[in-house]
């Protein structure tokens, strides 16, 4: 791979794109479970979400470079940006245009789904566009960054992937999407711990800055545990198939993330294992829930 192409892959954070795949997979699995089957719509939804995911990644990289955040943030494998723009590997203007191009292509696919669903998916598309275009410039400065991430790259994509299949909303789909929203909220939330000082210096406002690491470590822990109780309760009241309890297999990783965060919340290097375990929880829990839906559908 050429150095230039590698830089474009880096600024788009393609290593984060498996999240998009899993979100569409989960929403589609719920739709299949309820009897709605369209592989072509699932593929189109995946293409759209991946483009929009790349858009928010690229625009975030651009704005963080412009604000100076990338020069202040200590880089970890899970936070701190790609470092592509500070290293001078790409032209910032071209990066910005690439981010806008990804957004427009993703939005075009959204327009296609507006026609397919007879405008039913419009609220999801409008909210998603707001989260993408204003995440770094406004929402991350208004204590809404974590919520925007949880909704825009968690709850809404799962629900949207269901709606484009079913042509309707359902309580079951909403319940299945809730863990995704909380998990992606937690993904950004914990990744903000190492960046507290740098984020504060450039004017960002988030829960970690507002309350401090010592307090919010308990909120992170509560939300992680809550996800598992949500899965159990939803299965108990028959809103999710019992096979969705496969998602509980990530509990050991959740326990590791919680234990390490509580102990090392203010120690950057010692906190890294928690960030890694949290990524496993976020991705694997949703994947296993989706597999549970498919097992219940076909077996």
Per-residue pLDDT tens over the stretch 192-229? 999 999 999 999 999 999 999 999 999 999 999 999 99
Does a structural domain hold residue 95? yes
Does a structural domain hold residue 10? no
Does a structural domain hold residue 11? no
At residue 74 the predicted structure's pLDDT band, cuts being 50, 70 and 90, is confident
Q: b or e along 130-151 (b: 16 or more beta carbons within 10 Å of the residue's beta carbon)?
A: ebbbbbbeebbbeebbbbbbbb
Query: Would the pTM of this model clear 0.95, i.e. be above it?
Result: yes
At residue 70 the predicted structure's pLDDT band, cuts being 50, 70 and 90, is confident
Does a structural domain hold residue 4? no
Does a structural domain hold residue 157? yes
Confidence at residue 1, expressed as pLDDT on a 0 to 100 scale: 62
Does a structural domain hold residue 83? yes
139-191 tens-digit pLDDT: 999 999 999 999 999 999 999 999 999 999 999 999 999 999 999 999 999 99
Does a structural domain hold residue 8? no
Task: Spell out the residues 6+ positions from residue 30 whose beta carbon is closer than 8 angstroms to its own.
Answer: 158, 162, 172, 173, 176, 290, 293
91-110 tens-digit pLDDT: 999 999 999 999 999 999 99
Q: What percent of the chain has pLDDT over 90?
A: 94
Does a structural domain hold residue 3? no
**Number of structural domains, the chain?**
1
- The mean pLDDT of the chain is 97
Residue pointed to by tokens 């990744």: 191
Confidence at residue 118, expressed as pLDDT on a 0 to 100 scale: 95
Note the residue count of the chain: 299
CB 186 within 8 A of CB 282: yes
Domain range for 126: 17-298
């Amino acid at each position: 791979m050429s150095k230039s192409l590698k830089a474009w892959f880096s600024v788009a954070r393609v290593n984060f794109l498996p999240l998009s795949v899993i979100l569409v997979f989960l929403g589609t699995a719920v739709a299949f479970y309820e009897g709605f089957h369209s592989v072509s719509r699932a593929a189109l939804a995946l293409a759209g979400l991946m483009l929009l995911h790349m858009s928010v990644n690229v625009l975030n990289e651009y704005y963080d470079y412009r604000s100076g955040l990338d020069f202040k943030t200590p880089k970890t494998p899970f936070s701190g940006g790609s470092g592509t723009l500070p290293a001078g590997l790409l032209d910032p203007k071209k990066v910005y245009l690439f981010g806008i191009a990804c957004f427009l292509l993703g939005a075009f696919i959204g327009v296609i789904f507006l026609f397919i669903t007879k405008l039913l998916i419009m609220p999801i598309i409008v909210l998603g566009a707001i989260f993408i275009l204003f995440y770094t410039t406004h929402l991350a400065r208004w204590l809404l960054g974590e919520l925007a991430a949880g909704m825009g790259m968690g709850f809404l994509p799962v629900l949207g992937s269901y709606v484009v299949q079913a042509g309707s909303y359902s309580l079951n789909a909403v319940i299945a999407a809730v863990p995704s929203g909380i998990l992606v909220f937690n993904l950004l939330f914990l990744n903000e711990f190492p960046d507290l000082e740098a984020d504060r210096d450039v004017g960002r406002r988030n829960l970690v800055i507002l309350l401090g690491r010592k307090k919010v470590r308990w909120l992170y822990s509560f939300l992680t545990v809550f996800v598992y109780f949500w899965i159990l309760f939803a299965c108990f009241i028959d809103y999710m198939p019992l096979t969705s309890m496969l998602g509980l297999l990530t509990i050991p990783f959740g326990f590791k993330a919680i234990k390490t965060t509580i102990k090392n919340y203010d120690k950057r290097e010692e906190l890294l294992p928690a960030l890694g375990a949290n990524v496993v929880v976020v991705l694997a829990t949703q994947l296993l829930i989706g597999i549970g839906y498919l097992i219940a559908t076909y077996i």
